[in-house]
Chains A and B, each alone.
Chain A
């Protein structure tokens, strides 16, 4: 695709649309908007950064981009993990950060209407203040925006019970790749009027439209929570216990998280804190919800007993806030530790059937060993999503790392595909994984998606260079 440069005339038109204060060409801005939080993806400078404050502005910018053939990369809070917001063809980065208002809060409809730039944690907080719950909960909820969550169909730690972001989106207002403003869905759960355009948009990584208004579903807030920390005698037992325990429980936990020994060490180093049984090959974190204290106690007793029957060496039960926060802080510190201590790494996001998860973790260890690099694994056992993370050994040269990482990734992906899995569970394909998509999909399957893209975006101006 041949794109045009952002010349002065275009800058002037952008200023006419959004005002001078919302058009930035200074080096500092261009650099900041050249990357997101993805490791192993090269930054790429945009030619201009534009902040939209209204849907109509977004539409006008897209129309202008079509007319002049300028690529547009939409961007939320920039916390993505697949390079989705990296402007690989330059052009315009269109930031939705300033569209950050909660427009309507409708507890009577169990719904909230927001703009895409709202930080997800703010929606959660608002709902909880009213006894309700926005159950979409990516680990980044304190920093990621809801628009970005929608673009990537973000998952997180509560997917096993509540589903990923797509389960919570009732309606969307979208600016199409050709600049029309369309609205699909409504404040109701049932709606089969035509194609499910809402689901098509969610997870489309900013390639099929720019979401400008979002209606989200709220559910009742669980009253009591308990978090169990469960060290196991073996990695296989920890994961294999999950389907066994679930089939006897009679209820669904809201989270089941996995941490291998290296992940536990990483979090411990970052926080300078320990958790019990640091030397166990694996720990699970299980969170359960209940409407009263008695049923909560019954639930964790039953769950604990079942875990003990399946290879747990101990079950620690946190049913007060202090203890619960301690466990979750530990879980969230894994990623922070990786960034702090092993900045050259590659965090993967493969997703496989639960029964295949032990194989993924064990094989990843072998793959890393054979390629002379390091690895740790943590993730969401409840939903099959494992963050296998390759780490560059400190003394290794950067060229050697690149080559070994590439080999390791190909091996990991081939295995994942063989096990019936997906290359990404919640981070997206973006730039980072597009060259590997062929391992998982046939030419026909990729072409079928490309046809949708071409039909909706004939000039290929919206977030080019992503997915395929």
Chain B
């Protein structure tokens, strides 16, 4: 079985800051790292590989230094890594990114694509499903558990607000996974050595036959009109001393409401 995993390079921070003037993300001062959700996606792929003799290929689109995190993916168990890198890809929104990724994947023999639920920088969660649609294959998002997989189909559980859905879909398919799907392993010394020796395959827009107007900023219909921080307003109520019992009763009341 051939499995493809999407990898994104993101700034290494939990606190994404937006420049209020330009509406773009402030990336300066942060090291680049693998998007955490993608580590979970990769882990799932490697676990399938260990059971079914599969091949895992990671793919990313980004500047040349993205090679670094793709090597990390090899250290974690991927067999091959592909990087779409070209100045024409720059400034892409989720659609332009999906167009480029879908084109690259069309040329690869694959059975399953695994994407992380979303990236910790853009937070859209769109690229995975968009690529699936462009490739015309089934898409299951918010996958929290892999139940079964064989040559022809996959059974997964999908977390939704009120519970869990179980889906069986034919392969090839794309699944976008939540963190619950697997706990990422730590890279080993031998994995790191393998990664150091391996090479990352680089593809440009022209090699993929993509025109500048289809990709990058020119191929991106999304326009950011305004970015702002949502103000969270909480109404804190303090119960102390004599009022403590009242506070406890209130907590019990709230919890009972949840159980119902």
Contact = CB atoms under 8 A, between A and B. Distances in A.
Given A301-B193, A321-B33, A314 B188 contact: yes
A301 B33 contact: no
Contacts of B185: 276
Contact of A317 (B36, B183, B192): B192
A205 to B, nearest CB: 33
Nearest to A315: B189
Contact of B183 (A273, A300, A318): A273
Contacts of B192: 297, 300-301, 304, 317
B2 to A, nearest CB: 26
Interface in A308-331: 308, 314-323, 326-327
A468 to B, nearest CB: 41
B189 to A, nearest CB: 4
A317 to B, nearest CB: 5
Contact of B186 (A229, A273, A305): A229
Interface in B152-192: 183-189, 192
B113 interface: no
Contacts of B186: 229, 276, 316-318, 323, 326-327
Given A322-B33, A322-B36, A317 B196 contact: no
Given A273-B183, A297-B196, A316 B188 contact: yes
A270 to B, nearest CB: 16
A301 B192 CA distance: 8
Contacts of A273: 183
B189 A301 contact: yes
B189 A314 contact: yes
A87 to B, nearest CB: 24
Interface string B20-61: 000000000000011010010000000000000000000000
Nearest to A293: B68
B226 to A, nearest CB: 29
B34 A320 contact: yes
Contacts of B86: none
B35 to A, nearest CB: 10
Contacts of B34: 320, 322
Most B-side CB within 10 Å, residue of A273, A276, A319, A323: A323
A317 B184 contact: no
B72 interface: yes
Interface string B184-212: 11111100110010000000000000000
Interface of B: 12, 33-34, 36, 39, 68, 72, 75, 183-189, 192-193, 196
Closest 5 A/B residue pairs (Cβ): A316-B186, A304-B189, A315-B189, A320-B33, A317-B187
